[in-house]
Amino acid sequence: MKRHILHCVVLCAALTAMPMIPAFLITPRSRAAAPELSFPELVEFTDLPTDPTTAADTAEPETAAGTGYPAAEVYRVLKTDSGEVLEVPVTEYLIGAVAAEMPVSFEPEALEAQVVAAHTYAERQCLITRERGGSDADFSDDPAKYQAYLTDAELRERWGSQYEENYKKIAAAVEAAAGELLYYEEEPIIAAFHAISGGKTETAANVWGSDVAYLQSVESDADREAPDYEETVTFSAEEVMTRLTAAHAGLTVSGDAAGWFGTPTVSEAGTVLQIPAGDGIFTGQELRSIFSLRSADFTVNFADGEFCFTTHGYGHAVGMSQYGANAMAKNGADHREILAHYYPGAKLM
C-alpha cells in the first residue's frame, strides 16, 4: 500500500448526491470514447459541521499506487458562492470534504472509509479534468455535481465551541487513511456514496444506466434502522398534475386521480425503475427529482384527495451507504472491511 500525498481538494455530492454521475464515469487514462454521464448528488447527507484550521502532516508527493499517475499535491476547487478558485492542499481538502459529507459524530473507522472515498473521488475527477485541460478548477464544492467541501472558516462557523474537538477527530481520520485510494484495473474508482440505502445498495446500471463492476448491489440491512429511514410527503392532485405535465410536455393526465399512477417496475434493491403516470412512463429517478423525494425507493398511494409518496433511504443508493458504514464500524469493522463490502472488487492501495 503506497502512501499518496496529503495535499488536494473537493466537494460532494453528489454522490450525489444524489442521481447523476459526473464526468468521472469516464475512465481517467482512457482516451477512448466513454459514455459522458452526469452524476448529480454524490451524496446528500451533510451534517454541515464547522471549519478546519490547519492541514495535518503532509507527505512527499508520490506516484499514485504504482499506477503511473502522479498524485496531486493541491486541488483547485471552485467555491460556488464566490466564484473563486481555491488551491487547497490535499489534507486540508480531505478534512473539509469529510466534514461536509459525514457527521462528525460517526465512528472513526466510518470517517476513515469516507476519507478514502472522498480522496479517491477527488483524485479521479482531478485526473479527468487536467487531462482534458481548459479549466481553471478541478471541480467545485457544489454537492449537486461533485462532493461538498467546507473551508476552515466555514467549519469554525458551523462547529463553534466544538471546533477544536471535531477538527481533531476528522484530522485523525484523514491522517490514518489519506494515504489510501481505491482502484479497479489500475484506475481510481468512481467512489459513489450516499446517506442511507433502502436496506440494499443499488447498482450503477439501475441508477445511471451504465454498469460498473464494483458498483453492484450489496446488503446494508442496518440502514433500515437509520433515523428518518422512512419519510412520507403528500401532494394535492392538482399539484401532482401540474408537476407531471410540466416535466413531460404533451403528457395527458386525466380521469380518476386514483388511477393516474400505474404499477411500477422495481429493482431487487427497491428502486423504482419505471412507473406509468398519466399516458406516459417515468423513471423513478425522474419522479424523485420532480417531487424532491429523498430517494427513488418509494411507493405512491392516493387517499382523501392527496397523493402520498413514502420513501425509504436517502440518496441514489449506489456505492457506500454512510449510515451502513457507521453501523459496520460500531460492530467492529475497520475502514478496509467497510470499503471492501461496499465497493466489491475494488483494491485499496
One-character DSSP codes across 328-348: HHHTT--HHHHHHHHSTT-EE
Other residues' Cβ atoms within 10 Å of the Cβ of residue 20: 23
Q: Give the pLDDT confidence of 62-95 residue by residue, as tens digits.
A: 334 444 455 678 999 999 999 999 999 999 999 9
Q: Give the pLDDT confidence of 134-160 residue by residue, as tens digits.
A: 889 999 999 988 999 999 999 999 999
Contact 171, 52 (CB under 8 A): yes
Q: Is the pLDDT of residue 33 over 80?
A: no
pLDDT of the residue at 248: 92
The residue-averaged pLDDT of 295-321 equals 97
Q: Is the pLDDT of residue 10 over 50?
A: no
pLDDT of the residue at 292: 97
pLDDT band at 60 (very low <50, low <70, confident <90, very high): very low
pLDDT band at 178 (very low <50, low <70, confident <90, very high): confident
Model's pTM, two decimal places? 0.82
More confident residue, 119 or 29: 119
The SS3 of residue 320 is strand
Contact 148, 32 (CB under 8 A): no
pLDDT of the residue at 19: 34
Q: What is the DSSP string of 233-261?
A: EEEEHHHHHHHHHHHSTT----S-GGGSB
Across the chain, mean pLDDT equals 84
Q: Name 332's Cβ contacts closer than 8 Å, sequence gap at least 6.
A: none
The residue-averaged pLDDT of 104-113 equals 98
H or E stretch at 281: strand 280-282
pLDDT of the residue at 134: 84
Give the range among 24-38, 51-65, 200-214 with minimum mean pLDDT.
51-65
Residue 171 main-chain phi, psi, to 5 deg: -60, -35
284 vs 261: CA distance, rounded Å: 12
The SS3 of residue 263 is coil
Give the range among 65-69, 139-143, 267-271, 297-301 with minimum mean pLDDT.
65-69
- What is the maximal distance between C-alpha atoms in the chain? 68
- Each domain of the chain, given as residue ranges in start order, spans 15-223+320-348, 230-312
Q: Is the pLDDT of residue 37 over 60?
A: no
SS3 content of the chain, % helix, strand, coil (to 5): 35, 20, 45
The residue-averaged pLDDT of 24-37 equals 33
User: In the block, which residue shows the cell 450516499?
Assistant: 194
